[in-house]
């Protein structure tokens, strides 16, 4: 009982010390009368929107009675989830092991270790089975973000991301956004926003939820066809989003619309945003922004006014060696120039100009 009380106190204390993330207004010159906002999730203590997920997953495990004093926490993630979970595990005094593909960049392993986690390197195809096996062997707990993300979050409120966005919009000129645009990794964020706006449909029912999906992800096709057995032979190159299999946490029935965004367009978008906002963002923010700009241009062409909200998911400094490195871009075969020109003209004129 004392361990439980102390654990709940520590999680609450961390929350009390943290401020909510900003909602940033950004003027798009070509789209007067359509207000764009970025929910900036990069400013959480552990650096991404996965901070909210990690908090929810720990609360879920503790309240289910499966995370206890000394329980080793195991997760299959090499990205922002492992970093955020390592952050929580450390201040709860729990050992944390990330099961990661052995080709993971050292910089990312360093970040997980910086927050006190350990990395267990395995073949990419084995990360889920090895995480489960390790949890059995160590009598630990497998967090399983791709299954539990949608169910661990209190989607009705508890200051979840939807609650926060709609509250922060309340004094704006158009407080009920026409679109909220996100992307999907676990699908947890889209599930929370989609359920929330349906639950509060009398206030927010006019808001539509768009999910932007990168190359090599099955979510877009799954959304349209409903086939749970879809797989992709290649993994996504946009870190944090796009999955090679249909994840249980992705709830397609709460999504109103999906946009497919080519990877080169996502990357061009973050280089464009660096110029316009004076800051670097992770590539999934580019995926979000590209789809958002398209929807804004479509609103303009229909003569609509209103607001649109999207998200900064994590900071770009995590990707100085990749997305912001011109040698890496060339080696990967990316040509951003045509997309940069297209984004620029859409942004200046409000006309999307391609099919
Ligand atoms: C996880 C993640 C997302 C997607 O969020 P989900 O709630 O998991 O769908 C987007 N961007 C980044 C950088 C992420 O780590």
Please, what are the domains in the chain?
A: 2-49+154-349 (3.40.50.1100), 51-149 (3.40.50.1100)
What is the Cα–Cα distance from 290 to 346, expressed in whole angstroms?
10
Q: Indicate the pairing of strand 179-183 with strand 141-142.
A: unpaired
Q: What is the pLDDT of residue 171?
A: 98
Q: What is the pLDDT of residue 1?
A: 65
Q: What is the pLDDT of residue 354?
A: 66
Residues of the chain with pLDDT under 70: 1, 354-355
Q: Is 284 in the pocket of ligand 1 (CB under 6 A)?
A: yes
Residue found by looking up tokens 């006190």 in the block: 116
Q: What is the pLDDT of residue 154?
A: 95
How far out from the chain centre does Cα 201 lie?
24
- Could you please report the per-residue DSSP string of 121-173? EE-GGGHHHHHHHHHHHTT-EE--HHHHHHHHS-SS-SS-HHHHHHHHTTTSS
Q: What is the pLDDT of residue 79?
A: 84
Q: Is 186 in the pocket of ligand 1 (CB under 6 A)?
A: yes
Is the distance from CB of 311 to CB of 41 less than 8 angstroms?
Answer: yes
Residue 272 phi/psi, 5° resolution?
-65, -45
User: Which residue is closest in CA terms to ligand 1's atom 10?
Assistant: 240
Q: What is the pLDDT of residue 3?
A: 97
Q: What is the pLDDT of residue 16?
A: 93
Q: What is the pLDDT of residue 297?
A: 98
Q: How far is the CA of 240 from the centre of ligand 1 (A)?
A: 5
Closest CA to 153 of 60, 252, 14: 60
Helix (H, G, I), strand (E, B) or coil at 214: coil
pLDDT mean across residues, the chain: 95
For residue 209, what are the CA distances in angstroms to 11, 47, 158, 305? 30, 24, 20, 17
Q: What is the pLDDT of residue 45?
A: 92
Ligand 1 atom at shortest distance from the alpha carbon of 186 = 8
Q: Would you call 155 exposed, middle or buried from its count of C-beta atoms within 10 A (0-12, 13-18, 19+)?
A: buried
What is the Cα–Cα distance from 37 to 24, expressed in whole angstroms?
5
Q: Is 185 in the pocket of ligand 1 (CB under 6 A)?
A: yes
Beta-carbon-side half-sphere exposure of residue 165 (alpha carbons within 13 Å): 33
Ligand 1 atom at shortest distance from the alpha carbon of 80 = 15
């Amino acid at each position: 009982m004392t361990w439980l009380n102390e654990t709940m106190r520590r999680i609450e204390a961390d929350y009390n010390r943290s401020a909510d993330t900003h909602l940033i207004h950004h003027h798009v010159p070509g789209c007067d009368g359509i207000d764009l906002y970025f929910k900036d999730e990069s400013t959480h203590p552990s650096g991404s929107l996965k901070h909210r997920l990690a908090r929810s997953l720990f609360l879920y495990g503790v309240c289910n009675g499966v995370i206890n004093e000394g329980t080793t926490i195991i997760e299959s993630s090499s990205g922002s989830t492992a970093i955020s979970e390592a952050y929580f595990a450390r201040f709860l005094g729990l050992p944390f092991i990330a099961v990661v593909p052995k080709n993971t960049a050292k910089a990312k392993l360093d970040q997980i270790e910086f927050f006190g986690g350990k990395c267990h390197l395995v073949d990419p195809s084995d990360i889920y089975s090895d995480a489960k096996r390790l949890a059995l062997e160590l009598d630990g707990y497998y967090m399983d973000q791709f299954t539990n993300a949608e169910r661990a979050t209190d989607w009705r409120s508890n200051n979840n991301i939807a609650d926060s966005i709609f509250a922060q919009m309340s004094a704006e000129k158009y407080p009920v956004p026409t679109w909220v645009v996100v992307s999907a990794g676990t699908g947890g964020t889209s599930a929370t926003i989609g359920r929330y706006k349906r639950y509060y449909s009398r206030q927010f029912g006019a808001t539509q939820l768009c999910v932007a999906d990168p190359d090599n992800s099955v979510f877009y096709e799954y959304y349209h066809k409903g086939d749970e057995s879809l797989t992709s032979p290649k993994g996504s190159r946009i870190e944090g989003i796009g999955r090679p299999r249909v994840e249980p946490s992705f709830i397609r029935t709460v999504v109103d619309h999906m946009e497919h965004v080519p990877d080169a367009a996502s990357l061009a978008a973050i280089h464009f945003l660096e110029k316009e906002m004076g800051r670097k963002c992770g590539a999934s923010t580019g995926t979000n922004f590209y789809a958002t700009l398209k929807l804004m241009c479509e609103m303009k062409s229909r003569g609509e006014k209103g607001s649109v909200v999207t998200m900064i998911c994590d900071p770009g400094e995590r990707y100085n060696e990749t997305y912001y490195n011109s040698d890496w871009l060339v080696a990967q075969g990316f040509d951003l120039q045509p997309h940069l020109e297209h984004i620029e003209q859409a942004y200046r004129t409000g006309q999307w100009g391609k099919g």
